[in-house]
Chains A and B, each alone.
Chain A
Amino acid sequence: MRKLIDKAHAQQSPSNNVVHVSSKHESAPRQVQGAANYVDDIVEPQGTLYAAVGLSQCAKGQITGINLDNVRQSEGVVDVVTIDDVPGHKDIGPVFEGDPLLANQEIKFFGQPVFAVLATSVQLARQAALKGQIDVEEASPIMNADEAHAQSEFVRPLHRFGQEMAKVDSTFETATHKTHGNLSIGGQEHMYLEGQVSLAIPDEEDRMKIYTSSQHPSEVQKLVAEVLNVKLHRVMVDMRRMGGGFGGKETQAAQWACIAALLASRNRCAVKLRLPRFTDMHVTGKRHPFENSYDVAFDDTGKIEATRMEINGICGHSPDLSDAIVDRAMFHADNGYFLGNSDIVGHRLKTNMVSHTAYRGFGGPQGMIMAEAMMDKIARHLGTDPLSVRKRNLYGPSTGTVTPYGMEIEHNLLPEMIDELEQRAEYWQRRETITAFNRTSPIIKKGLALTPVKFGISFTAKHLNQAGALVHIYTDGSIQINHGGTEMGQGLHTKIAQIAANEFGVGIDMIEVTATRTDKVPNTSPTAASSGTDLNGKAVQNACLTLKARLAECYAKSLSRADDANLVEFVGDEVRLGKHSISFVELIQSAYFARVSLSASGFYKTPKLQYNRETGEGRPFFYFAYGVSMSEVSVDTLTGEYTVDAVDIIHDVGNSLNPAIDIGQIEGAFIQGMGWLTTEDLKWNNKGKLISENMATYKIPAIGDTPKTFNVSLFGRENAEDSIYHSKAVGEPPFMLAISVWCALKDAISSLSGYTVDPALDTPATPERVLNAIADIQARVTSPNAKESATENAKESV
């Protein structure tokens, strides 16, 4: 550069308090104007063609023939591919093999992509994709946990941790009280509003550029390279933003990018593959359904002495991420409670369903709900209020402080947080009011529940706990950040911009966070496990620190105080050393002329992590995030309809980087969790076909489901661990606050038995399931030996 920008024209915005304040989402002004681009909005290169996938029409069997003549002859069709046309790797399993790019000899689930077609328009491609003839020698599909267990079908071996079995058994033998229960836990469709989409643009020779809606661009890069049989450096993946991810674009986005790349490579043209909703719902994995059971032994005060738990994750046809997901379910089967002598085993069941995948909470919710199920069961058994049983069993000096997997609980916030919510939301007063209401209201019954959340933060695959960043400062003082995290609405880029602005003491307008690109920061981890800000925030901070050190040295030298570089401060758009100061822009320009590098990379790895899977012991988590929520519901005992009337939440995000964004995550996660437990009902027919296959038949919460009273506050205690500015991760933990809704529904139903019976209520607790639970409990309490028989029969009916 010969001449730099006039410093007077360099834009400046207020630099005070850029972090720990509620900055607006960086894309919000563009989003509200329809000016924020998603992959399908990118201006298409000339000659772009459109792909669609042809799906299997049965759930299991050997392919005996594929006739695609009608597809090829369909209007507008340019190319058709099957697995035989893949030049490189045919399997795109993210961790273990098992996910063929297109069906390879075998059909593993109903709706499995068998071929892909390229045509001149979206509609023509999709119409052609309906015309394939796939002959299959059909076999009977495995569609539930019992069948999978009976046939010993697992995608991975089981994992087990806890105390020695003999010790657990002997505690059970001597215990005063014992009970058991089981629960069928439904899966969940991600229902990101933007469906899966990729645009592949061939570059010189065998190089490929991919625009995708993915939480894991590096994995897309790696898989595209493998499928095309080229080195990774030939593939560049660009990911600006997703229209929602929630885990559904962690591994499941890659297939569409690979197919688009394959077709783009063969036809030397840009190829866009966007799944219509009616395809997306069949071909992408969901939250795992689980079938779990427990035995618990406890004393007269409700204190747990021993626990046995069996966790059964229904994984679908391949491993995908199920190993880690079932592990996380096991790691959260205690939630915030000391389980006494415990034995926890987790199975990974193979079924002929789409391969279930990551989804906000990653198995945690399906484990945690078992702990809460036990609390309710113990409470009804003893005739105690469930909140008292919960408080009795929290980790602490009177119970224990070591988890079943041997991790010491160091900074347990739950006792304090529960006390605070109990007071603030007036649990006991409302309990009295509700009990009185229920006595005089024969049809409508109210329920109340307060449940905690303790969620472990870190990838349990240790190597993923690393991040990289690249920071450039330009000669007008503007700063461009690139990091390995992806933006899916969670406000990651906003928080990153706040961190960088804070480090340099400049206004947030000086920071531009660009699209995530594999050619800027390599070998990145997925944006998952709530870790986006923790990992990338630290990496960005480290890059900033490197640049600040160079700039400080440059400034100190210019004042002939080279030894005082460490005293240089970056505040208020200025750089200061003692009584000297210089504007940030001015320093940048003089640094440029002084030939100081204005670009730096940063790196971070999470400390303290170690977990031995052989012994089932260690510290898989850097820290825990906590939350407490209280829900009040009304249930119509004639129809099973219900409303969530009031919700009060206190959640722990450490020292919040951005309170508005954090509250947005908490509220959104809660409502999504509520949907999981209430109206979101995945159904497969007896042929293995998903029949809740669109938004007309699969119901996520709508605006009217927002509780009228919805109070969310942040706990405000800084993270005791050295996380970025002592904040805490927030993406997943609040999802599980919604378990209070399920417990409140059970509380309302339990009132029909005078709170003596814990109703059997599988999830999702649709009005139909609620009405069944009501009928069940009504039938039992009117019969002799009401309480016991109700408990027993309830179990059988599960």
Chain B
Amino acid sequence: MIRFLINQDTVELEEARADLTLLQYIREHRKKTGTKEGCAAGDCGACTVVLAEPDAKKPNTLHYRTVNSCITLMSAVHGKQLILVEHLSSNGNLHPVQAALVEYHGSQCGFCTPGFIMSMFALYHSNTKPNRDDVLHALSGNLCRCTGYRPIIEATLAACAQAPNDQFTQNAITTLKKLKALSGLEDASDMQLGTGHILMPTTREALRDAIEQNPDAQLVAGSTDLSLQFTQQLKNVNKLISLCHIDALKQCTTTEHSLTIGAAVPLNDAAPLMLKRFPQVAELITRFASLPIRNQATLGGNVANASPIGDTPPLLLALNAVLHIDNGIAVRKLPISEFFVGYRKTKLAVNEWISAIEIPLLSSFQKIAAYKISKRFEDDISAVCAVFNVTVENNVIVNISAGFGGVAATPVQCDALNNALVGKPLSSQECLTLGKQILHDAFTPIDDVRASAAYRKTVLANLWHRFWLENQTENKIETRVVQHA
């Protein structure tokens, strides 16, 4: 059983195909056509809807997050309130975000508009009195081909300038009660969560059993990559095991030595913790896909997926992260540097899953930078991703740990860089030229749709140049066209 609210109505879904997307459910099963399909791949945001759930920090309030319904599975909706563009106006009155978009002439062809409205609505409920950058951030997953965005930015700023006050805030208590009642049902009965096609175990033991009984079923967390198999490659997938309902996979802890992030924590929930400890890597965190994707995608998923162009593996490689790998009986720890063994191949055994990612905290001697190069700044896949973690004592390099994406079949490190530069002063010209030369020759990347091999090699070398410049104590010069901090 999957239980959720559509606006204020309780829905109980006993059966659904494993590969049914939320968008198909909305448009084809519920015949609600306000939500649009633009790409069916999580790239355009026309299908954006909002899921509300009790706020983890303030359980008496609701937390509203946008998701791309085209790549969201029904399991992700369980226990939440699904809000569609049709639900926003009340008694014939437009919602403040709707009224603002009309007022500022923010819709032309109107096809992207429902998705923008939902992103604006979620931002409206974040109650942050957003500035322009916040707006860009919140709407980073919505493409518009008509307006050039200026009126949408202005409408959003205007609509979100006041504290939220709409029927959703007014109904919050009722909604919370209804949501609680949904989860209460689970506690009361021995009924299994999920359906015959999407298993939704709630404990690691149950997960172990589910894997054992369904050896062919894939594990899925945020589904932001897996869904493309159904929506783009049109594959039928009969059975999936969702990792999103196991509390143990959603815990984050900080000790004096490390930060540990549960593998199924959505990136956007992990982001504040990571940025607090590693503020230097803001660029990678904020440029990772788009907000709706980060609302679903998980750190564990990005690692287990083992894509050579995933943005968190280079980061975790540079930060010497340790993976906690579980099989339901015992947890083993594996340095991420040993995890990737080939193109989308890892050391994960068939009955194992990543339960958490542990990242050692930094000393004051470590200089960190994370760089992402892509055609477009927002919501693009890296042509090259480089993360440098250089320990410097008395201006002498004592260790270099680095991670790179887009330059090999897996996310990679570069031992040669460490070997050559340890013992050299960071401020030396030699450190610059030798580092550039090593990185230029370190990998044999490929030509593809994002960039040529030659560009990747040159840029990788030049990113060391950038890092070197940014860590000179004298003659600080401008090195960036966009500030990400």
- Kindly list chain B residues whose C-beta atoms are within 8 Å of the C-beta of A664: 105, 108, 146-148, 151
A278 CB to nearest B CB, Å: 6
Q: Which residue on chain B has the smallest CB distance to residue A672?
A: B145
A8 at the interface (CB under 8 A from B): no
CA distance A416 to B219 in the complex (A): 65
Q: Which residue on chain A has the smallest CB distance to residue B86?
A: A34
A127 at the interface (CB under 8 A from B): yes
Other-chain contact of A695, B43, B105, B375, B469 (Cβ < 8 Å): B43
Other-chain contact of B377, A245, A694, A704 (Cβ < 8 Å): A704
A692 at the interface (CB under 8 A from B): yes
How extensive is the interface on chain A, given as a class?
35 or more
- Kindly list chain A residues whose C-beta atoms are within 8 Å of the C-beta of B450: 697
A61 at the interface (CB under 8 A from B): no
Interface locus among B110-118, B160-168, B268-276: B110-118
- Residues A768 and B111 in contact, CB atoms below 8 Å apart: no
- Residues B98 and A33 in contact, CB atoms below 8 Å apart: yes
- Cβ contacts A228-258/B at 8 Å (1 or 0 each): 0000000000000111111000000000000
How extensive is the interface on chain B, given as a class?
35 or more
B185 CB to nearest A CB, Å: 31
B102 at the interface (CB under 8 A from A): yes
CA distance A31 to B139 in the complex (A): 18
Interface locus among B195-203, B259-267, B457-465: B457-465
B33 at the interface (CB under 8 A from A): yes
A203 at the interface (CB under 8 A from B): no
Q: Which of B424-452 contact A (CB under 8 A)?
A: 448-452
B153 CB to nearest A CB, Å: 7
B36 at the interface (CB under 8 A from A): yes
A600 at the interface (CB under 8 A from B): no
B479 at the interface (CB under 8 A from A): yes
- Residues B110 and A489 in contact, CB atoms below 8 Å apart: yes
- Kindly list chain A residues whose C-beta atoms are within 8 Å of the C-beta of B114: 31-32, 34
A435 at the interface (CB under 8 A from B): no
A128 CB to nearest B CB, Å: 10
Other-chain contact of A699, B109, B111, B139, B376 (Cβ < 8 Å): B376
**Known A-B contacts A32-B98, A704-B136, A706-B148; A490 and B108 likewise in contact (beta carbons under 8 Å):** yes
Other-chain contact of A661, B86, B94, B105 (Cβ < 8 Å): B105
A489 CB to nearest B CB, Å: 3
B370 CB to nearest A CB, Å: 14
Q: Which of B140-156 contact A (CB under 8 A)?
A: 140, 142-153
CA distance A278 to B40 in the complex (A): 9
- Kindly list chain A residues whose C-beta atoms are within 8 Å of the C-beta of B413: none
A333 CB to nearest B CB, Å: 27
CA distance A1 to B230 in the complex (A): 56
- Residues B108 and A25 in contact, CB atoms below 8 Å apart: yes
B329 at the interface (CB under 8 A from A): no
B44 at the interface (CB under 8 A from A): yes
- Kindly list chain B residues whose C-beta atoms are within 8 Å of the C-beta of A29: 94, 98, 102
**Known A-B contacts A443-B477, A694-B232; A491 and B108 likewise in contact (beta carbons under 8 Å):** yes
Q: Which residue on chain A has the smallest CB distance to residue B115?
A: A193
- Residues A634 and B481 in contact, CB atoms below 8 Å apart: yes
CA distance A32 to B85 in the complex (A): 8
- Kindly list chain A residues whose C-beta atoms are within 8 Å of the C-beta of B142: 703
Other-chain contact of B378, A126, A488, A705, A771 (Cβ < 8 Å): A705
CA distance A25 to B376 in the complex (A): 30
CA distance A556 to B373 in the complex (A): 73
Most buried by A among B234, B378, B381: B234
Interface locus among A36-44, A100-108, A382-390, A461-469: A36-44
B39 at the interface (CB under 8 A from A): yes
Q: Which of B27-68 contact A (CB under 8 A)?
A: 28, 32-41, 43-44, 46
CA distance A704 to B144 in the complex (A): 12
- Kindly list chain A residues whose C-beta atoms are within 8 Å of the C-beta of B151: 664, 667
CA distance A660 to B466 in the complex (A): 43
CA distance A378 to B206 in the complex (A): 74
Other-chain contact of B381, A122, A190, A696 (Cβ < 8 Å): A696
Q: Which residue on chain A has the smallest CB distance to residue B20?
A: A123
Q: Which residue on chain A has the smallest CB distance to residue B228?
A: A696
A271 CB to nearest B CB, Å: 17
**Known A-B contacts A24-B102, A668-B148, A703-B149; A444 and B480 likewise in contact (beta carbons under 8 Å):** yes
- Kindly list chain A residues whose C-beta atoms are within 8 Å of the C-beta of B132: 708
- Residues A670 and B94 in contact, CB atoms below 8 Å apart: no
- Kindly list chain A residues whose C-beta atoms are within 8 Å of the C-beta of B32: 34
- Residues A705 and B108 in contact, CB atoms below 8 Å apart: no
- Residues A638 and B479 in contact, CB atoms below 8 Å apart: yes
CA distance A667 to B480 in the complex (A): 26
- Residues B375 and A699 in contact, CB atoms below 8 Å apart: yes
**Known A-B contacts A638-B463, A704-B136; A775 and B110 likewise in contact (beta carbons under 8 Å):** no
B311 at the interface (CB under 8 A from A): no
B358 at the interface (CB under 8 A from A): no
- Residues B469 and A443 in contact, CB atoms below 8 Å apart: yes
- Residues A40 and B145 in contact, CB atoms below 8 Å apart: no
**Known A-B contacts A28-B107, A443-B478, A679-B375; A702 and B140 likewise in contact (beta carbons under 8 Å):** yes
CA distance A697 to B103 in the complex (A): 34
Q: Chain B binding site: helix, strand, loop or mixed by DSSP?
A: loop
Most buried by B among A444, A705, A768: A768
- Kindly list chain B residues whose C-beta atoms are within 8 Å of the C-beta of A771: 455, 458-459
- Residues B33 and A37 in contact, CB atoms below 8 Å apart: yes
- Kindly list chain B residues whose C-beta atoms are within 8 Å of the C-beta of A195: 38
B380 at the interface (CB under 8 A from A): yes
Other-chain contact of A193, B36, B374, B375, B380 (Cβ < 8 Å): B36
- Residues A638 and B462 in contact, CB atoms below 8 Å apart: yes
CA distance A278 to B37 in the complex (A): 12
- Residues B38 and A194 in contact, CB atoms below 8 Å apart: yes
CA distance A767 to B373 in the complex (A): 9
B385 CB to nearest A CB, Å: 12
- Residues A41 and B33 in contact, CB atoms below 8 Å apart: yes
B285 CB to nearest A CB, Å: 15
- Kindly list chain A residues whose C-beta atoms are within 8 Å of the C-beta of B89: 33
A277 at the interface (CB under 8 A from B): yes
Interface locus among A424-432, A542-550, A569-577, A639-647: A639-647
Q: Which residue on chain B has the smallest CB distance to residue A659?
A: B105
B485 at the interface (CB under 8 A from A): no
Q: Which of A469-499 contact B (CB under 8 A)?
A: 488-491
Most buried by A among B32, B459, B481, B482: B481
- Kindly list chain A residues whose C-beta atoms are within 8 Å of the C-beta of B107: 25, 27-28, 31-32, 489
Q: Which of A145-167 contact B (CB under 8 A)?
A: none
Q: Which of A437-455 contact B (CB under 8 A)?
A: 441-444
**Known A-B contacts A193-B143, A243-B109; A702 and B379 likewise in contact (beta carbons under 8 Å):** yes
A635 at the interface (CB under 8 A from B): yes
- Residues A193 and B41 in contact, CB atoms below 8 Å apart: no
- Residues B148 and A193 in contact, CB atoms below 8 Å apart: no
- Residues A33 and B88 in contact, CB atoms below 8 Å apart: yes
- Kindly list chain B residues whose C-beta atoms are within 8 Å of the C-beta of A191: 143, 145
- Residues B375 and A636 in contact, CB atoms below 8 Å apart: no
- Kindly list chain A residues whose C-beta atoms are within 8 Å of the C-beta of B103: 24
CA distance A106 to B46 in the complex (A): 37
- Kindly list chain B residues whose C-beta atoms are within 8 Å of the C-beta of A30: 110
B354 at the interface (CB under 8 A from A): no
Q: Which residue on chain B has the smallest CB distance to residue A34?
A: B34
- Kindly list chain B residues whose C-beta atoms are within 8 Å of the C-beta of A591: none
Q: Which of B223-239 contact A (CB under 8 A)?
A: 232, 234, 236
A15 CB to nearest B CB, Å: 21
CA distance A594 to B284 in the complex (A): 74
A192 at the interface (CB under 8 A from B): yes
CA distance A33 to B146 in the complex (A): 18
A-B CB contact pairs (8 Å), 7 listed: A25-B108, A31-B110, A32-B114, A694-B41, A703-B140, A703-B142, A703-B152
Give the top 6 A-B pairs by smallest Cβ distance, nearest first: A34-B34, A489-B109, A243-B111, A31-B110, A695-B43, A489-B108
New A-B pairs, 12, CB < 8 Å, besides A127-B236, A664-B146, A679-B376: A31-B110, A33-B94, A34-B114, A122-B28, A193-B144, A244-B145, A244-B146, A489-B110, A641-B377, A701-B148, A702-B377, A705-B378
